Every structure is written in structure tokens, then in C-alpha cells.
Structure 1
């Protein structure tokens, strides 16, 4: 009988401890994975069952350790486990409304002081209440603690099991179709020995980031003396989706269409076909290097781009997984959603972290600033004489501040300014390689971004046209947008660009031009919409359309004064 009581006592304690670790190691990572598995690129078996076993094992160890403490102390320790488990469950289910899980900010996660204070009060009240409950209501404390833990664990188990049938087979099995297409990264550092158009798209690079870096590094832009800087450039659309497909095709967003329908329209409409026909007729190979092609294709996959993008090839079977990064990333993401507001910033995972967990050695595309730079320094550029090249390098830019001024990884001390300096160190090395190979003068080079920061959306835009040369960087405040990118490229080929709109050269300094900016958002007064892939609800449900005339100050004024029109979404990419 005594042994039975000891076992039941241990079991009840075990269930209480398990509540915390099941939430952290099973429910949290699983919900994150099944809500985003098409973004990750690895299957559930790579971590899921290991985390599942670990949760039960670590709970057993902690319960065993608690059993060696005196009853009174063990009771208080157990009450803390229970309090944290309850608080974390409440945080996850009710207090994280519309929390961005997949890194989409340059800065680490921040919450307002008032939000942190209120959130801290909730957590402190729950944990302190658990301790006081254990002290003054000893007779019913264990029953309440055990019953509530069982109820929450039961609900989580039901939720956990329901995740599996709702996912398709790609969550569990690597797609092995020999005809599956992927972007080929083997020529990411190859340029034409003839003519080149080189487009650097530096993600999330606001013009205000550049201005801040120039204050610290006054000579930052000196090596761009042959370029012209447009300091009043608008991205049209905030967010890599829909900006990147718009930037590459010139097709304007149609909010009345679903993500899939609009992306199909982007790549198949007559104007886009004419644009890529012009490039093909001029003997240009269009090589695109970006890590996430679903932003360009939605559920259609890469055949949608075939015939326009040149470096599309069949996926090789070899796959490389960084398991240390995988386990750490999934645990950090779980802690990020579980923890109170004050601690979330310590567990915020950057997008460059989870996008580099999986790689295909034979089709590898470098996206982070420091990986790109280090490969460039070690191997340089090579040339190909078989045709002209249109090279599109979509790099991480200032999406996270993880780059030092020497363009090396530093997630502890890197700042906005050091990240910008590191990027410009990388760009200077690339341009020097072009000069060494003798192809710099005949290259049209554009350095821009898909969007800026959400509070300062204007972007950088540098351009050096073929045979352009001057002693110092030119500057203009002509009001341009990314709408003008495709026409400008067509114009650089000495072709009639009128079909595609205006080029950047059609606008002049100090011109007053009305411009539109779309920013995705969530508005509780509008119904939720599904995410494009059907895995979960979308994180956004509306676009806020801002209309302004003037420069960045006028744009910021419109943003800060909420001068927008609300446009409902059909579905949401993110």
C-alpha cells in the first residue's frame, strides 16, 4: 500500500511537471512546424519524435529530483512548475494575439513598456498565487493542481493529434519527384564576359538605415562614385510579398485576387511575356538567386517561371541539415511564444536562421550577407562568354542586424550601422571583382531593396548604367518607385519601354508626384482570411493604402497620422 501511495504521489507530481515541458518541447514546436512547414524545408521526423521523447524524459528527471527534497520545499518547487505551466499556457493561447513567429523584423522583438508591465503582473500574479495557494490551501492544492494539469494536458493532446491529419505528406516525407524544379545556385558568382545587368535586392533596406550609417561612416558610399543615388525612392508595397514579384515582373498588385491567382497573373500576362522576350532577344540569361521561391509562385511552384528565369533546374537528391541549428531554432521559437513579453526578445529567431537549416549542396544559394561575402572573397567571380547575363541577387540585407562592419556574422554586437557598413564592404568587393575581370564598365548595376522598414518604408536605390563614369556619387530627390524598375531595364537595352510605364529618367528633382504605398496589417473589424497555402489563418487580413505627395517626410506624416484607405485581403501570404 505504501509503495502504491509513493507511486501515485510521484505520478501526480510528474503530470504537473509534464505540463510545462509538454508545452515547451511538444506542443509549441509542433504547432510552429505544422503552421509553417512549407517554409522550413525539413520534415517533422527530423525533430518531432525526439522532442516528444525528451519532454517525457526531462519531466521524469525533474520529478525524480523534486522527490528528494523535503516535502515542504518540494511542494513549493512543484507549485512554481505549475504556475509557470499555467502562465505559459495562458500566454500562448490568449496573450500572443497576432504575434509574428517567423522573423520579419530587422530589430529584435520589442514590446511597449506598458505591455511588459501588464504582462509581468499577470505572470507574477499566477506564480505568486500558486505559491500562496500551496501554503494556505494545502488540502485542496494538490487536487486543483493535478486536475487542472490533466485538463490542459488533455486539451493539448487533442490539439497535438489533430495537427497530423490536417497536414499534407510534405510535412512528413521529402518530395522525391525527379522532375521537381529548384533554382540552381552553381552560377551565383558567374558573370558574363560580355554585357551584364546586375540587380542587388537587399531585403528590408530603408533609406533611413543608410542615412544613419553614413553618420558613423562618412566615406561609406565613396566607392560608388560612378553611381547615382535616388534618395526619394518608394517601394510601392511593404513586405517581400508582394514586392518581390512586383519588382521582378512589373505587375501591379490586384488585392481582389488570391495570392495564387495574382502570382499566376504576374508571370503569364502579356506585358510580362513581352518584357522577358525583350531580354531573351537581347541574348540575356536571367539568373535569379533567392532562398524562398514560394513568394514568387505561391502554390504553383517553379514551372510558373520556366522559360523566363534561366537558372531553373531539377532538384538533386542530396540534402544537408544542420541539426544543432534545427533543434536550437525549434526550441527558441517555442520559448518565444511561451515566454512573457520581457523575455521574448532573448528567443526571437531571425529568418536567416531558419532559412539556413536545410541546404542542397548541389543547388546551394547563398542569401546571408556574410556567407555571400566570404564565398566572394575566397573564390572571386568567374566569367561566361556564352551570352549576356541579367543577375538578380536577393540577399538578406538589413532584414536582421547580424552583420559587423567587416561583413562577418555577429548577432551579439551588430547594429543597424554595422550591418549597413558590412553590406557596403560586400558590395565594394563585388564591384572590385567586376573591375578585375574587365566587365564593370559594360555592366548596368542597380542596388536597391524590395521594401524598407515598416515605420520608414522608403528604400535605397543606386544605379550605374553602362559606360557611366564620374568622380563622385551623383544624387537626386526625383520621386521614383519600383514601378519604374522594369521600364528602366528595358530602356537600358535601348528598347522602346512605353508599354511598361515610366522609367526613373522620366522624373526630375523636386517634382511633386502622387505615390501609393500598400502596407499589410491586421484589422479586427474585418474578417480573418486564410493563409495562401491553407495551413493556417493569415497573419494579416487587410492592406492599408497610403496616398502621399512629396518626400519621405510626407510619407512618414501619412503613416503617423493613419491617412490610409483599408482594402480587404482575399487571403494572406504571411
Structure 2
């Protein structure tokens, strides 16, 4: 009986064990399923939050604002989801009657033993605490002195946020947005920019950490306010910010946004100080947490900048090409030499308008004396504005077709043109010197095939020609211009060519092939007089040389006097700039006469566009690029004074003129400049770009009949192209 009695309890335990194990397994499975679902939900949200929208032709700097907004939402969502999941999981544990601490080892309480009684003595922690006098609401935390580790963390977060916002995010966004305009890109500048900013962050962190008390709080709030102000300014208060296009900026037109900006900055600086005077500890920790969140947001934004770089490295034709264009350098090789056989020297003087030339000629009748044998076509119409369109037209001769998407037009300009290939097939060496070739709209493969590989001066280089110190200073100026409040922007306004000049190392130690070409007219003029123009027939199989030289010309801001000397930005007048650039080109022509190649050289002096100004509506004054041409001809004709021709010509007539001068078939390009009669009416077409705060929005077509300098000759045709649609 005893054996049977002892056996029964054991039998009951055996039969009940499986259900208990099953219940435990079900609870664990439920927890695992909950955790997996939470992880999947988080991944789903973050995947969509960090997805970069595939918006074609969106400026990279604009894309980063979208990325920052999405990243901010993702950070907020992750915080909220974390709190919700933690609380939901606790409720689930209670519902399932699961104790997560069941298997954890907990040390027993330790008590002091009374030697007299041998019993534990009650801990002082168990004694009732004395009642504290409640603080007044809002009273500062007296005696709050954060430890050095706390100061270090807060200082690091605030310093990294502020320095990173101004000296990492802003410069890299500007460089990314200026792709195709700046000599160097993200792959060139990101390392020195990031390393120098991190070094400054470390120094600022160390300085703040050693401070204590009010001094620490004062400077911590000041640095935080600077970073937050820069971030808010760039994100929300740069509406209508003037671009660095060289145009005259009338800062008084920005009084409203300037006043709003000043008020916002005053609040950003004042509020943290006021809050820290009431709740110093809480304010410091809130500032640190906000900095941490914005650091994450901006890190995602900066990372997104390199996505367009990766796309640019590959071919969009699907052939898998991933070559990098950052290794290519547009050098000065061939800039100061010509062939003894035949040459075409093509000067593109940015913004040089026919009216500018006439106004300066009235003041200086001898201005064009060196241009003997030239013909001045003073009734000229350009192709389109601004430079990014007009300059590429002079290298392709392509205009958008009716109904064609603007983006497709930009991407196929070189593919649809045989101009450069015709010049190359005629046996001419090609040197192209310009900072605006439109290659940002091409794949890497097409850029090399259609442009770079046709030239003698754009070649891969194994060493950087960037001036690191100059680049950091130039980009810091750009960043301050963008991120400072409106009342501070005039002090940091910059011009694209000015930045390129500062960023480039122009040392001649390794020859012209290692010197990047930058648009610095005064320097170029000095080099012409110092180095001269040499005759180079290294390749006897060449029929001649073609040199396309894009210069600043009469583009604002003016810095060249009538002698061609650099007197500093904003220090020259339009008349001085016009006469100065004419003098610089005249010095080059004089060198051709001295080396005996003037008679066998065709020279074109023109502009990518005439008088240009950003405009949000139809033109209110005419724009006429200067067009002066001297064909290769006899010494007798070359010695004659310049003639003036009133034929109704446009920029498209220059291309057949060049091809015919080389002995090629110009009929597919149209009539040459010299084939157009002066007394025969002719309709010409021109595209004007409409701008707003977001950039180019449309191109309007004009028909010009009559004198190009008479606004009555300009009429809208009603045709337009929507840009970026």
C-alpha cells in the first residue's frame, strides 16, 4: 500500500508536466513573435523614412532638406515606437504571467550584526527620511555642478552639432549643388572638410569641458544657439537667397525676410539662456539630446549627398561602367601654343554685350585698334541664357525641340551634335578651357567619349591640384554666407570663379599640364605677356589647332581695370572691365602677330550670352552677345582696320563659320556669318530662362526681327519649355 501510495503522487506530477511545459513554450513563442513583429515594424518604418525620393533633376542641396525632414521624422518615430513597444511588452509579460527576473541571481541583503545580541541591526536606509522643504517652482538648482564626464558628453554633442552644421554640412551641400560649376567635387573636398571640422570640434570640446559653473553653462548655451541658428536659417529662412551667379545683389530688397531672420535668431539665442537660468540641469540635458537627434538627421543628409556621386560614376546606358571622373583635370596644356599651319582661336567672354562694347568704344575710340582684319557683327542675337545653356550651345549648336522635355534636351546635347567630332575628324587638336561644359547631365562614359577624350588638356591625373588651405577658407566663406542671418550675408557673399581660384594650386613647377584652368582673366593676361604664345607642331599629322577659351569677360562682380589689372572684386566699373578684357585679348592677338601665325589664324570673339540678369518674367531690355570674327586671310586683309557689319546674325551662325574655316562641310550647320546679307530681313530665335527662388523654372522663346538692340524687335512666340518637369 505504501508503495502504491507513494507512487500516485509521482504519477500525478508526471501527467501534469507536459501541459506546464507547453504553456511555458507558448509564452516564450508569444514573446518571440512580439519582438519579431516589433523589429519588422521598425524596419518597415525606417525603410520608408530613409528612402530617398527618385526625383529627377532635383538639386542635391534641396534633396538634403527632404532627407533631413525624413530623418527627423524617423528619429521621432523610433523614439515613440521604442516607448510604446516597451510598455506594450510589459503589459504582455503581466498578461502571460512571465517574470523576466525569475532566473536572475540576486545577492542577499547584507546587514550589520549586533555583537551583543547576535541579531541584524536595522539599516539606516530603512530609517524614515527627514522631510525636505519643498523648493519653489522654477527655482534654480542650487549647487548643481555636473561632473567632468557629464560636461565632456554635453560639450562633445553641442560642439559636434554646431561645428558640423556650419563647417561640414553647409560646405558639402554647396559643393554638391555646384557640380559642374566648381573645379573640385565632393570626392576631392570631403576629407579635408571633415577632418578639419573634427579637429575644431575636439578643440572646442576640450575647452568647454574644462570650464565649470556659470562659465560652462554660458558658453555651452552660446555654442548651442549658434549651431541651432545656422540649422534653422538653412532649413527655413533662406527663402530667395541670391545665388553666386555674379549678379548685382540689392540687399535692401530682402528687408522682410531679413527682419524675420533677425527676430528668430534673437529668440534662438535668448531662450536657452532664460531656460538655463531657471532649470540649468534640465536645459543642458535637453540641449544635448536635441543636438544628438540633429546630428543623426544631418549625418543621413550628408550621406545622401554622395548618392548622386555614385550615380555619376556609372553609365546610365546600362553598360555597367563605373569609372570616376574625379581623376580628370582640365589643365592649361595647349592654352598658350598654336599651330604653324592653321588655327581657330575661339574666345568666349562671359556676358560681353554689344551695347557694353559700344558704350566703352565711345569713351575709348582706340579700344579695338589691335583687332585689324576683324569684322564686328553688331546686330547679333544669342542662343539662350544663362552660361550653363549658352556656353554648351557654342560647343554643340543644339537647341531644344518643340515638345521635348528639358531634361532630355540637356542630356542629349552632345549626343545630337557632331560639331566636336567634325573638328577632330578634320585633323585639329582640340583644347577646351571652360568651367561650364554641362557634363553633370551626362554619364561618366559619355562625358569621356564625347568631350574629354577629344581634347588635349582634359586628362586623368594621379595627384591632386587642389589647394587644401585655400579650399577650406573658400568653403568656410560659402558656408557662412548660407547659414548666417540675412544681415550678415553681404559680408560673406561669394562668386563661383572666386571660389575656383582660391581652391586651385596654380604652381607651374610641373608644367601647364598640371595646372588647372580657372577663369581668372587678369592672371591669364599676365601669363600671355610673360609666357607668350608659342608655335607647337609636335604632331606633324595635325591640320591645325582649335582653342576654345572661356573667360570671365564682363561678368559681374568687376575686378579688372582698363589696363587688364586685377584691382579686387567690386573695385572696378563695367566700363573698366569691358576695356580691360578687350586689352587682355588684344595682348594675345599681338603675340600671334609677333610669332607669325596671325594671318593663318581664324579668331572668334563672342560671348555665351549678352547682358544677363536673373529675371522672373519676360525681358525688359535686349541682350546681344558681342560677335567679332577675323578669318585666316592674307596679310593685306589682316592689316585693314576692323569693319562693322549690320547683318542679322545669331549665335548659331558661328559654328558653320568655324567649320568652313577648317575646310569642312558647313552646309549642315547653315550659312556662315559672312554669307548673311545686311539688307535682308531675317527672323532669329532666342530662349530666355525664367528664375524663381527654387532655380530655373521655364524657358521662353522670343522671335527677333530687326535691330537686336531695339526691344521693339523682340516678341514672345508663346512657346516655352518647363524646366525639370
Instruction: Give the TM bin, normalised by the shorter chain.
Output: 0.7 to 0.9
Task: State the secondary structure of the residue aligned to 1:57.
Answer: helix
Task: State the secondary structure of the residue aligned to 1:355.
Answer: helix
2:462 paired residue among 317, 337, 347? 317
Are residues 22 and 364 of structure 1, via their aligned partners in 2, closer, same or farther at CA, if it must alter by over 3 Å? Answer: closer
| Structure (1 or 2) with the larger CA radius of gyration | 2
The match for 2:578 is: 420
2:532 paired residue among 361, 376, 380? 380
Superposition deviation, residue 176 in structure 1 = 8.5
Superposition deviation, residue 217 in structure 1 = 4.1
- Find the aligned partners of 2:410 and 2:215 in 1 and give their Cα distance: 64
**CA deviation map 1:116-136 (0-9, x unaligned):** 354134314541674488569
Matched, 1:454 2:612: yes
Task: State the secondary structure of the residue aligned to 2:480.
Answer: helix
- Find the aligned partners of 2:712 and 2:159 in 1 and give their Cα distance: 49
Are residues 106 and 137 of structure 1, via their aligned partners in 2, closer, same or farther at CA, if it must alter by over 3 Å? Answer: closer
- Find the aligned partners of 1:279 and 1:173 in 2 and give their Cα distance: 26
For the 8 Å contact 1:26–1:51, the answer to whether it is kept is no
Superposition deviation, residue 193 in structure 1 = 1.2
Within 5 A, what are the aligned runs for 1:227-238? Answer: 227-238=374-385
Task: State the secondary structure of the residue aligned to 2:370.
Answer: helix
The match for 1:105 is: 246
- Find the aligned partners of 1:151 and 1:382 in 2 and give their Cα distance: 62
The match for 2:603 is: 445
Are residues 36 and 153 of structure 1, via their aligned partners in 2, closer, same or farther at CA, if it must alter by over 3 Å? Answer: farther
Task: State the secondary structure of the residue aligned to 1:348.
Answer: coil
Matched, 1:120 2:259: yes
The match for 1:567 is: 721
The match for 2:96 is: none
- Find the aligned partners of 1:180 and 1:53 in 2 and give their Cα distance: 26
2:563 paired residue among 406, 409, 414? 406
2:701 paired residue among 518, 537, 545? 545
Superposition deviation, residue 234 in structure 1 = 1.8
Matched, 1:28 2:186: no
Within 5 A, what are the aligned runs for 1:48-67? Answer: 48-57=193-202, 59-60=204-205, 63=208
Are residues 128 and 96 of structure 1, via their aligned partners in 2, closer, same or farther at CA, if it must alter by over 3 Å? Answer: closer
Within 5 A, what are the aligned runs for 1:60-79? Answer: 60=205, 63=208, 75=218
Superposition deviation, residue 214 in structure 1 = 3.9
The match for 1:465 is: 631
**CA deviation map 1:463-500 (0-9, x unaligned):** 11223346533223433211111122234356653321
Within 5 A, what are the aligned runs for 1:5-404? Answer: 8=150, 19-36=161-178, 39=182, 40-41=184-185, 42-57=187-202, 59-60=204-205, 63=208, 75=218, 84-97=226-239, 99=241, 103-107=244-248, 110-124=249-263, 126-127=265-266, 130-131=269-270, 134=273, 138-139=277-278, 147=286, 150-151=289-290, 154-164=293-303, 167-168=306-307, 185-214=332-361, 217-254=364-401, 262=409, 265-269=412-416, 272=418, 276-277=421-422, 280-281=425-426, 283-295=427-439, 298-299=442-443, 300-305=446-451, 309-311=454-456, 314-356=459-501, 357-358=503-504, 362-367=513-518, 368-385=520-537, 386=540, 387-399=543-555, 400-404=557-561
Superposition deviation, residue 454 in structure 1 = 2.3
Higher relative contact order (CA 8 A, sep 6+): 1
Are residues 65 and 370 of structure 1, via their aligned partners in 2, closer, same or farther at CA, if it must alter by over 3 Å? Answer: farther
- Find the aligned partners of 1:422 and 1:371 in 2 and give their Cα distance: 12
- Find the aligned partners of 1:192 and 1:255 in 2 and give their Cα distance: 41
Superposition deviation, residue 304 in structure 1 = 1.7
For the 8 Å contact 1:401–1:415, the answer to whether it is kept is yes
Superposition deviation, residue 208 in structure 1 = 4.0
Are residues 231 and 179 of structure 1, via their aligned partners in 2, closer, same or farther at CA, if it must alter by over 3 Å? Answer: closer
For the 8 Å contact 2:388–2:437, the answer to whether it is kept is no
For the 8 Å contact 1:228–1:464, the answer to whether it is kept is yes
Gaps of 5+ in 1: 525-537
Query: Normalising by the residue count of structure 1, what TM-score does the alignment of the two structures yield?
Result: 0.80
For the 8 Å contact 1:444–1:464, the answer to whether it is kept is yes
Task: State the secondary structure of the residue aligned to 2:418.
Answer: helix
Superposition deviation, residue 545 in structure 1 = 2.7
For the 8 Å contact 2:388–2:438, the answer to whether it is kept is no
- Find the aligned partners of 1:453 and 1:212 in 2 and give their Cα distance: 13
Query: Normalising by the residue count of structure 2, what TM-score does the alignment of the two structures yield?
Result: 0.65
- Find the aligned partners of 1:159 and 1:510 in 2 and give their Cα distance: 62
Gaps of 5+ in 2: 1-142, 314-321, 614-621
Superposition deviation, residue 425 in structure 1 = 2.2
Are residues 378 and 312 of structure 1, via their aligned partners in 2, closer, same or farther at CA, if it must alter by over 3 Å? Answer: closer
Task: State the secondary structure of the residue aligned to 1:47.
Answer: helix
For the 8 Å contact 1:479–1:509, the answer to whether it is kept is yes
- Find the aligned partners of 1:487 and 1:431 in 2 and give their Cα distance: 23
Are residues 425 and 262 of structure 1, via their aligned partners in 2, closer, same or farther at CA, if it must alter by over 3 Å? Answer: same
Are residues 104 and 440 of structure 1, via their aligned partners in 2, closer, same or farther at CA, if it must alter by over 3 Å? Answer: same
Are residues 170 and 494 of structure 1, via their aligned partners in 2, closer, same or farther at CA, if it must alter by over 3 Å? Answer: closer
Task: State the secondary structure of the residue aligned to 1:164.
Answer: helix
Matched, 1:478 2:647: yes
The match for 1:500 is: 669
- Kindly report the root-mean-square deviation, in angstroms, between the aligned alpha carbons of the 2 structures: 4.2
**CA deviation map 1:150-203 (0-9, x unaligned):** 436523432223422552596899998799766564222111112222111122
Superposition deviation, residue 6 in structure 1 = 7.3
Superposition deviation, residue 519 in structure 1 = 3.0
- Find the aligned partners of 2:326 and 2:209 in 1 and give their Cα distance: 53
- Find the aligned partners of 1:373 and 1:465 in 2 and give their Cα distance: 23
For the 8 Å contact 2:434–2:550, the answer to whether it is kept is yes
